[in-house]
Structure 1
């Protein structure tokens, strides 16, 4: 009966989603690729100039600095967020008093908007650094670690929820069998729990990698690229190129297309690597 209803009404539920995806993603994406090959100030006055925008984008030293800066930021935050998120989830799935309260506390930062978080952490970090006559915008390194702290503080609780769901779904009989066979807690964690948690690790790693590359609003609020754009992540560099430099709209669009290709390739490689390590109970 259910199968018959699905076959009869599937168009009603599928078509609106497909149309929304085409209108909201496919069409803007294709227009963006076209505009990256044009010189324009508005969509209606675009003039085709070939690959000139891409040559200008790849010749921009600040673009390459932002790319390297973003890759380093993403690597550090992906490791820290996932290790800390899993550790917190592992502790909070044990029988400890107030576990639900701790889960809520760790998750709360994810509910705060990035711009708000950026300004809050700007005040906090400047308050600490002022003791040494410094500020978060004193150097690109200060901005880097400030954004790492901000991002990790925000994301750990979200990844914790995903890891908790994965830990609670683990087959208890496998863990019990390992205990009976004499495996200690460390062996059960490394040889049984982690391999069975690979689907959750795949999801969390994918989210942290893509979110790390795409981070914009926290960067804008915390440092705005200061000093001299040395603390500028790639998304902010693209924004500044597109909106801050007259006549460079096409270059900014070309950077956005390159950015998309880089993130897509890295996400696909990461997903393939982690998925290949998944096992079934």
Structure 2
């Protein structure tokens, strides 16, 4: 029976894979390559595209708001990646111990991840403005307030999700290795940094990859919380690209060029981060 099933799979696998493969081509590859082509064109619709070479990229890279958004996004991603992973790991470590109600705590920490980004943005703008009202200011009066408001919002939303991944990793750790470390006289700090963290590197790789890419791609929370104010100084890359493409007449090609640059930057950083953390897995 198993042999017959294997033969059927080998014979008909292409037929069953075809719908997914076709959807991938139509929904991803075709738009992607069309977008790359349009980044070299001046256009208002796909049908009237006129090739103009690298002019869109020159205008994109000479746009001070785009460069400012890149710096803002990079700083935001560094801070949120560190905070989310450290806090999520700490919470996961505590909740894998024998604590009463740990299942309830896991559910509570995970729940913010189920709320949409736009809704979260509107909720937190009310909360943060309520606090800042005591100082007679608001979230949109300073890019510093906007930056830390976004950090608080995104950390609150994503810590629970990363916590679940870390819990799964901690629960799969070989107990005999940890017991052997205790027998050899390792204290808590030595066990954590010499045994547990090296063994947790696969989970750390996944979580750091997700937080880095999510940080760079952030859009809806930025739109709802600050909308780039004041004067687009709290604007992140995705929001800057959106406004360039849809808000400035004749800048569609520039917006597309920014999107391609955005893709290259995020892909390069994600690959470097993944390579670094994966190398630690091998070393561990």
**TM-score, normalised with respect to structure 2:** 0.97
User: 1:74 maps to what in 2?
Assistant: 77
Query: Is the contact made by 1:126 and 1:135 (CA closer than 8 Å) also made in structure 2?
Result: yes
User: 2:172 maps to what in 1?
Assistant: 169
Query: Is the contact made by 1:195 and 1:279 (CA closer than 8 Å) also made in structure 2?
Result: no
User: Aligned to 2:157, what secondary structure does the other structure show?
Assistant: helix
Aligned residues: 281
User: 1:148 maps to what in 2?
Assistant: 151
Q: In structure 2, do the counterparts of structure 1 residues 8 and 117 end up closer, same or farther at CA, with 3 Å as the change threshold? A: same
User: Which stretch of structure 1 is more off in the superposition, 127-136 or 181-190?
Assistant: 181-190
User: Structure 2: which 5+ runs fail to align?
Assistant: none
**Structure 2 Cα separation of the partners of residues 12 and 60 of structure 1:** 48
User: 1:181 maps to what in 2?
Assistant: 184
**Structure 2 Cα separation of the partners of residues 95 and 6 of structure 1:** 46
**Structure 2 Cα separation of the partners of residues 274 and 280 of structure 1:** 10
User: Aligned to 1:231, what secondary structure does the other structure show?
Assistant: coil
In the TM superposition, what is the alpha-carbon distance from 1:8 to its structure 2 partner?
A: 2.7
**Structure 1 Cα separation of the partners of residues 195 and 282 of structure 2:** 10
In the TM superposition, what is the alpha-carbon distance from 1:211 to its structure 2 partner?
A: 0.3
**Counterpart among 259, 266, 269 of residue 269 in structure 2:** 266
User: 2:199 maps to what in 1?
Assistant: 196
RMSD: 1.2
In the TM superposition, what is the alpha-carbon distance from 1:29 to its structure 2 partner?
A: 0.4
Query: Is the contact made by 1:129 and 1:135 (CA closer than 8 Å) also made in structure 2?
Result: yes
For 1:1-281, list aligned pairs within 5 A. Answer: 1=2, 3-279=6-282
**Structure 2 Cα separation of the partners of residues 170 and 261 of structure 1:** 36
**TM-score, normalised with respect to structure 1:** 0.98
